[in-house]
Amino acid sequence: MKQMLQRGFAIANGERITRVVAENSLWQIYLTNCEGYVLAVTPELYNCWVDNYALPQDLFIAEKEHNCYIFSCSKNYLISSLGKGPYHENSSQIEAFSLAFNTAITLFPNIDLTDAIYIEKYSLILPTKAPNANADNALAYGKWLTCGVNISITEFDRISTIMSWITKETLIRASNTAGFAVSDDQNLTTTQETCNEIKHNNTSKLLQPTRMGKFTLVGRPELERFFNENIIDIVMRQEEYQRMGISFPGATILYGPPGCGKTYAVDRLAEYLGWPRFDINANAIGSSYIHETSKKISAMFKSAIDAAPSILIIDEMEAFLSDRSLSSAGNTYHLEEVAEFLRWIPEAISSGVLVFAMTNMIDKIDPAILRRGRFDHLVEVKLPAKEEIAALLSSKFQELPVESSIDIESIAASLDGHPMSDITFVLREAGKWAVKQNLVEMNQSCFDSAIAQLPKSEVQKRIGF
């Protein structure tokens, strides 16, 4: 489908359009470079809203060159399609939407809200279809609540399962506000209550690492400084930080190309802290059975919370937390899995779980995951530079039989632009070559032979932070 507005189009406040997040033939919703929203609609749809649904004419701006009308707002307000709404940050957003929904169906009894547009800033829900007395607005409401899952609010138990990060009481209250009579006579022991109990039980646990002294990460000084300042210092000086309202280190995403040393860095930190470690990866939680992956995600977080203080590592997070707007319409289980992470990450942090995630494809991650409050730090880890490689080799050479005449600088220059895994490969191959030559110590020739087996690095990249 042709875009009404192209990438880079500048709106009145200077923000620029980056990509489409939802669309049909009458309208398109875009995301800006500042995470704001832009809604573009055809003149036909705009005129329909003005004539039939009391839309203020000055709310939209006419973009004559592109033959459309546009409305924009900051990232603090939602613009969404009821057919595929974005993740709802909190219960107040759901309740605000529910009130707008009730207003719409009250003012216009035959309104069809299937695929309608919600403009949160003005509490407007505007239809994109003709009036229909048989419209299934219970389905429209359920789809918005569940971010696009084809499920009606009449199936309340299923919706409460999918939206497990929101309490049943909140969902019942919001649904009743929207105009749907929903009740639940069961004993409501919510996930939030369970987490609060777990958190209370963990407050008495000491968060001190098992080792003392400064944490070091040879060859990666920027990462070493980040870990010491943003994690270990908070752990070591808990009482001082708690006085300032900081009870535990925030979650961190390490992103960068394969082989840049993300996993190595987190492994060294885990060894230093000595806390119980839990890994979420495809082998640990992947399943071909419906809902099974979500259950395993929940179980892993609960185990980490029970063992707190602990470390939970999400490896290759793009496999579980990719952008839901890029998912196929039928992939409702992916929505459920992302929601499970959204539900548990803040609870894990507040319960004493140090959360790390790693990815090679940061641009594929769902925007709701990247917002502050879930992952406070996004740290880019590039391939090691020559100076860092030399520092790592110097450290390793103290542990291995190596001739003193070896030129570390020349070896580091040869490995500049290569991933950390290549450095490990060269050390191993040089040792094998020394054994085959019956040498007591590795010499320059051993390293030259090992380096010759590596593919040439096309781009000499530098470490960044």
- Share the mean pLDDT of the chain: 81
Domain boundaries, the chain: 17-76, 87-119+132-178, 221-380, 386-452
- Mean pLDDT of all residues in 75-102: 79
How far is CA 450 from each of CA 191, 410, 425, 426, rounded to the nearest angstrom? 55, 13, 8, 5
Lowest mean pLDDT among 3-17, 164-178, 425-439: 164-178
Amino acid identity, residue 381? V
Residue 67: is its pLDDT beyond 90?
A: yes
In CATH, what is the architecture of 221-380?
Answer: 3-Layer(aba) Sandwich (3.40)
How far is CA 379 from each of CA 33, 36, 234, 359, 375, rounded to the nearest angstrom? 19, 23, 18, 11, 10
* Residue 86 pLDDT class (50, 70, 90 cuts): low
Q: Class for domain 386-452, per CATH?
A: mainly alpha
Query: How confident is the model at residue 447, as a pLDDT?
Result: 93
For the chain, the residue count is 465
Query: How confident is the model at residue 84, as a pLDDT?
Result: 66
- Mean pLDDT of all residues in 433-442: 91
**336 or 24, which is more confident:** 24
**459 or 293, which is more confident:** 293
Query: How confident is the model at residue 208, as a pLDDT?
Result: 52
Query: How confident is the model at residue 187, as a pLDDT?
Result: 34
Tell me the per-residue pLDDT of 195-249, one tens digit each, with 9 for 90 and over: 344 344 443 344 555 444 678 887 788 889 999 999 998 888 888 888 888 888 9
How far is the C-alpha of 95 from the C-alpha of 76, rounded, in Å? Answer: 16
Query: How confident is the model at residue 445, as a pLDDT?
Result: 92
Whether the ω angle into residue 309 lies within 30 degrees of 0, i.e. cis, is: yes
Q: What is the 3-state secondary structure (H, E, C) of the chain?
A: CCCCCCCCCECCCCCEEEEEEEECCCEEEEEECCCCEEEEECHHHHHHHHHHCCCCHHHCEEEHHHCEEEEEECCCCCEEECCCCCCCCCHHHHHHHHHHHHHHHHHCCCCCCCCCEEEHHHCEEECCCCCCCCCCHHHHHHHHHCCCCCCCCCCHHHHHHHCCCCCHHHHHHHHHHHCCCCCCCCCCCCHHHHHHHHHHHHCCCCCCCCCCCCCCCCCCHHHHHHHHHHHHHHHHCHHHHHHCCCCCCCEEEEECCCCCCHHHHHHHHHHHHCCCEEEECHHHHCCCCCCHHHHHHHHHHHHHHHCCCEEEEECCHHHCCECHHHCCCCCHHHHHHHHHHHHHHHHHHHCCEEEEEEECCHHHECHHHHCCCCEEEEEECCCCCHHHHHHHHHHHHCCCCECCCCCHHHHHHHHCCCCHHHHHHHHHHHHHHHHHCCCCCECHHHHHHHHHCCCCCCCCCCCCC
Amino acid identity, residue 50? V
* Residue 307 pLDDT class (50, 70, 90 cuts): confident
**262 or 161, which is more confident:** 262
Tell me the per-residue pLDDT of 281-303, one tens digit each, with 9 for 90 and over: 766 565 545 456 777 888 888 88
* Residue 93 pLDDT class (50, 70, 90 cuts): confident
How far is the C-alpha of 368 from the C-alpha of 381, rounded, in Å? Answer: 22
Query: How confident is the model at residue 94, as a pLDDT?
Result: 87
- DSSP lists the bridge partners of residue 30 as 20, 38
Query: How confident is the model at residue 57, as a pLDDT?
Result: 84
Residue 163: is its pLDDT beyond 80?
A: no
Residue 272: is its pLDDT beyond 60?
A: yes
**Which of 10-14, 59-63, 234-238 has the highest average model confidence (pLDDT)?**
59-63
How far is CA 291 from each of CA 85, 158, 298, 347, rounded to the nearest angstrom? 21, 12, 11, 21
How far is the C-alpha of 35 from the C-alpha of 37, rounded, in Å? Answer: 7
Query: How confident is the model at residue 434, as a pLDDT?
Result: 92
- Percent of the chain predicted with pLDDT > 90: 24
- Mean pLDDT of all residues in 387-408: 87
How far is the C-alpha of 40 from the C-alpha of 27, rounded, in Å? Answer: 6
Identical fold for domains 221-380 and 386-452, yes or no, is: no
- Mean pLDDT of all residues in 140-158: 84
Query: How confident is the model at residue 423, as a pLDDT?
Result: 87
- Mean pLDDT of all residues in 360-387: 81
Query: How confident is the model at residue 372, as a pLDDT?
Result: 66
How far is the C-alpha of 342 from the C-alpha of 366, rounded, in Å? Answer: 10
Query: How confident is the model at residue 395, as a pLDDT?
Result: 83
Beta carbons of 256 and 318 less than 8 angstroms apart: no
Query: How confident is the model at residue 164, as a pLDDT?
Result: 66
- Mean pLDDT of all residues in 248-265: 87
